[in-house]
Amino acid sequence: MTDIRERHPGGQPVRLDHAAFTYGSADMLFDADFPSSTITAVMGPSGSGKSTLLNLVAGFETPRKGRVLIGDSDVTALAPAERPVSMIFQENNLFAHLDVAKNVGLGRSPALRLTSDDRRAVADALARTGLSDKEHRLPRELSGGERQRVALARALVRDRPVLLLDEPFGSLGPALRQDMLDLLAGVQAERRMTVLFVTHQPEDARRLAQKIVFLEAGIVTAAGSTEEFFAGDGPEGFRRYVGSQS
Ligand code: ADP
Ligand code: MG
């Protein structure tokens, strides 16, 4: 069997270099590093800029100043499709009129012209995410957790070095959320992609992430290892935030 690390691209480091962005009266300025092949939790109060930060990395937004770097490349001017990135949102990741296999196949070919290799990759990703028996279902015939598995399966067949998740399991109950976190952790351990994971749940970060980047009012106010954050003397803003969440 081929070593999985030979077949997949692994991760690439992501860096926001003084990337400035403005929405109306909200001024944001992000300076942050996301090490290659690690899971970083992006946390912070509602409105602090977590989604904007991910959108800048994905290319859905462009900074007015500063740069976005992935690996050795400056991707600031690249369109989303040209970046080595996949993104999963809280919901509405799927096309309602396409079945599970087709929604996953889109990760390989936007026109769904799939080679036999592509079909094999889709079948593998469905098996990996526990969806093999549901390939002909439409999104409305799935649970919320299953829909997010389909989105993850599509990210697997895209096989990009960077995976962005914006509160992907936020609408799921606690037990299901744990299953999804385990699945994500397992997949990341195999593929070694760089993961940026937005979550409101300190427990999710503690379980999954090696690093935390904490935002307040549009800037990074703390960044460091998960251990440091959860130590008794972790960053003050973060401790206040965790206190307010429980
Ligand atoms: P978070 O994901 O942390 O809740 P966002 O990145 O969505 O924060 O938002 C950051 C700031 O930008 C907030 O002040 C928010 O009100 C503002 N904002 C976000 N999206 C828009 C938009 N489409 N139009 C105007 N302001 C926006
Ligand atoms: Mg958000």
| Final residue in a domain of this structure, among 108, 143, 159 | 159
For residues 66 and 170, membership in a common domain is answered with yes
Q: Which ligand 1 atom minimizes the distance to the CA of 48?
A: 3
For residues 170 and 79, membership in a common domain is answered with yes
For residues 138 and 190, membership in a common domain is answered with no
| Final residue in a domain of this structure, among 159, 186, 202 | 159
Å from CA of 166 to ligand 1 middle: 13
**Tens of each residue's pLDDT in the chain, 246 residues:** 444 445 788 999 999 999 999 999 899 999 999 999 999 999 999 999 999 999 999 999 999 999 999 999 999 999 999 999 999 999 889 999 999 999 999 999 999 999 999 999 999 999 999 999 999 999 999 999 999 999 999 999 999 999 999 999 988 888 889 999 999 999 999 999 999 999 999 999 999 999 999 999 999 999 999 999 999 888 999 999 998 876
For residues 194 and 221, membership in a common domain is answered with yes
Å from CA of 23 to ligand 2 middle: 14
For residues 80 and 23, membership in a common domain is answered with yes
Q: Which ligand is nearest to the CA of 45?
A: 1
- Is 89 among the domain residues? no
For residues 122 and 176, membership in a common domain is answered with no
Q: Which ligand is nearest to the CA of 167?
A: 2
- CB count within 10 Å of CB 102 equals 17
The CA distance from 55 to 63, in Å, is: 10
Pocket of ligand 1, beta carbon within 6 A: 23-24, 26, 44, 46-52
- Is 18 among the domain residues? yes
Write the secondary structure of 108-126 as one string of H (helix), E (strand) and C (coil). Answer: CCCCCCCCHHHHHHHHHHH
For residues 154 and 171, membership in a common domain is answered with no
